[in-house]
A = this chain, B = another copy of it.
């Protein structure tokens, strides 16, 4: 049976880069290389403009019926004044929660051809290859109670709850250990257990699971502030970094920025074995360059590759796509974010040829 993929182009440059992934999919289908049923739906600000909500129940339903969801990007200044639940970001959080994609895989690796773009001295990033496993559907992003309340004295109070249960920690830690075994076999678990009990429990549960089932993997623990420093000082020390939703957001962004090519980096969010995965570029909607035809489509295309690997059972195509992207870089065909002058279409054309 054909696998199903749902495209959610979203806002800003999202539609432009997702269109390139779609061209790739259509090409692979036409050539008979894959059998894929493709759906598409508005998402984020685009969905709000059409339906008054950043994601509709129908879109969530379609996502849950798919094998993979490929997102572009969400958000933009025109929606920033909306009520909290109507903002484009709220749609993304709702989708992550509904799909229960608890493990966000965020690779930060350095394309050799692009090493010069990093802010870091070249010797500090040569061979950099970190994989973040970020918990994605818990922590302070989702904890209850939350909100802004008015106190008896008339003051306001903003409140969010950071919470994790042992099983929430355990299931994402399992993903980190399993993936570590396929790479450098090292996991660094990151929390702030010196000031937060939730971090203390995090460390405890990870340590326990490690002892029970993953003693062959090298496990270390690091405080979040120290990890942020180590990422700047000596990022090559890391293999897999396992952390919570909020720290993962910040730390993985540091790491991707180190590579100098954040426009190149994909991500995957996966849930229970067999459940659909959610794939998206690390970069945002970049409203400033939207509509100009100069957005870098590589992160979207590499996200599609991750979908081929983790959800669509076509690791062979994942590799082919990754190699095609690598070849583009070696040939020096670069978009503006990488200091070149190639257009989104130029890259798309070359990618198709290479495949």
Contact = CB atoms under 8 A, between A and B. Distances in A.
A205 to B, nearest CB: 8
Contacts of A151: 165
B167 A200 contact: no
Interface string A112-147: 000000011100100000000000000011000011
Contact of A197 (B124, B160, B164): B160
A174 interface: no
A252 B297 CA distance: 33
B201 A156 contact: yes
Given A121-B119, A229-B257, A253-B229, A89 B161 contact: no
Nearest to A161: B161
A160 B196 contact: yes
A208 B313 CA distance: 53
Contacts of A156: 165-166, 201, 205
Contact of A158 (B194, B195, B202, B262): B202
Main secondary structure of the interface of A (DSSP, over half): helix
B119 A233 contact: yes
Interface stretch (A220-228, A272-280, A322-330): A220-228
A198 B160 contact: yes
B167 A163 contact: no
A246 interface: yes
Nearest to A195: B141
A157 interface: yes
Contacts of A161: 159-162
Interface string A287-311: 0000000000000000000000000
Contact of A224 (B89, B163, B250): B250
Contacts of A53: none
Contacts of A195: 89, 93, 140-141
B164 A158 contact: yes
B166 A159 contact: no
B87 A194 contact: yes
Of A121, A199, A246, A250, the most chain B CB neighbours within 10 A belong to A250
A244 to B, nearest CB: 10
A148 interface: yes
A159 to B, nearest CB: 5
Given A156-B201, A159-B163, A160-B198, 9 more contacts: A119-B232, A146-B197, A157-B165, A158-B163, A192-B249, A228-B250, A229-B253, A229-B256, A254-B254
